[in-house]
Amino acid sequence: MVVESFLVILLSPIAVGLSILAAIFRKGATIHMVAIRRSQSGHEA
């Protein structure tokens, strides 16, 4: 029982950190894709 609670306490911050990293990565990826599309449309024009 103690080990399970310890694992939960240990893994909770890791899960939160991963979710935050995923959100930042998604925002960065979308911004990067928009920049690529703008540069491509600029080259086409």
Helix (H) or strand (E) holding 34: helix 2-44
DSSP label of 28: H
Higher pLDDT pick, 1 / 4 = 4
Q: Please report, for the chain, the start and end positions of each structural domain, with discontinuous segments joined by +.
A: 12-40
Q: Which tokens belong to 31?
A: 């911004």
Query: How far is residue 21 from each of residues 5, 15, 28, measured CA to CA in Å?
Result: 25, 10, 10
Residues recorded for the chain:
45
Q: 1: pLDDT confidence band, cut at 50, 70 and 90?
A: confident
Model pTM? 0.55
Return the percentage of the chain with pLDDT > 90, whole number: 47
pLDDT for residue 43 is more than 70: no
Query: In the prediction, which pLDDT does 27 show?
Result: 92
pLDDT for residue 45 is more than 70: no
CB atoms within 10 A of CB 22: 10
Q: Which residues contact 21 (CB under 8 A, 6 or more apart)?
A: none
